[in-house]
Amino acid sequence: MRLAVCSSKGGVGKTAVAANLAVALARRGRVLAVDVDPQDSLGRAFGVVAKSGDDSLAALLEDPSADARAVVRHDVTPGLDLLPSHPSLDTAATHLATTGGLVTSVRRVLRPLMGEYEHVVLDTRGDLGGLTLAAVCAVDAVLTVFTSDPGSAVGVARVAAFLEQQRTYENTSAVLVGVACAVWDQHGRAAREVAGALDGTDLPLLRTRVPLSRRVPTSTLAKRPVVLSHPTSPVATAYLALADEALTAAERVQR
């Protein structure tokens, strides 16, 4: 599975989903986690920080002849390699946008690496701009997330419309394989209303709901995703189930 985790806004738990899905999938085979966000949140979730743009995805986007393998951090966790980001990715993306190379840039960088991994998970920035499109164009599947905030349901619809539009433009063939609740407040009325509203659409709403948990921000501070730091906790169990469900959905769509 080549999967991009996307949202139209930040603060919805997207990076935590990407990090924990990557760890969960690494139990099934080698995984490459790719940080396509200039805020480098995915790398930081694993304690990986690029010292400069030369040591990150930004350098690979700027120089087509650069060796991606030299930038990949190997065995960040068992079975998982990571391609880190850096704030200079923003500058690189702006330059590529002016030359017409941004849309295919991430796909170009990852092409020589794809055969080395069973799964590739991309974390995107919290918008639907050029870098997010470049990430989507490099994958087959997209997962988006919502929370108990009613505004996040609107964000899900925007991601679905964005993918449909880009397929019309023939920029990508990626399919939305799942809509997941990343921060589920089981006692909240708003959460139930948001889930109910999405359930009434034709969007691929996943059954697994990741519960609201203090362990998630704590694990981020500890630079160790919760699936590793608290593997038997309810939130870790939910992330593992979400990985299984997303993989099954992706396999079904790609048949």
Helix (H, G, I), strand (E, B) or coil at 181: strand
Q: Do residues 40 and 82 touch, judged by C-beta distance below 8 A?
A: no
> What torsion, rounded to 10 degrees, do the Cα atoms 226, 227, 230, 233 define?
100
- Predicted TM-score of the model (pTM): 0.95
Higher pLDDT, 200 or 136: 136
Q: At what angle do helices 234-254 and 14-25 cross, to 10 degrees?
A: 80
As given in the structure block, the two tokens for residue 166 are 């880009």
What would the pLDDT profile of 35-81 be if each residue is shown by its tens digit?
999 999 999 999 999 999 999 999 999 998 999 999 999 999 999 99
Cβ-Cβ contacts under 8 Å for 162 (sequence gap 6 or more): 8, 128
The label of the residue with tokens 């200079």 reads 88
Q: What residues have CB less than 8 Å from 127, skipping those under 6 apart?
A: 8, 9, 10
**DSSP 3-state assignment of 49?**
coil
**pLDDT > 70 in the chain, percent:** 100
The angle at the Cα of 227, spanning 223 to 228, to the nearest 5 degrees, equals: 55
Name residue 125's amino acid: R
pLDDT tens-digit map of 141-159: 999 999 888 888 899 999 9
Local confidence band at 103 (pLDDT 50, 70, 90 cut-offs): very high
Could you report the per-residue pLDDT of 213-233, keeping only the tens digit for each?
999 989 988 899 999 999 999
**pLDDT score of 255:** 67
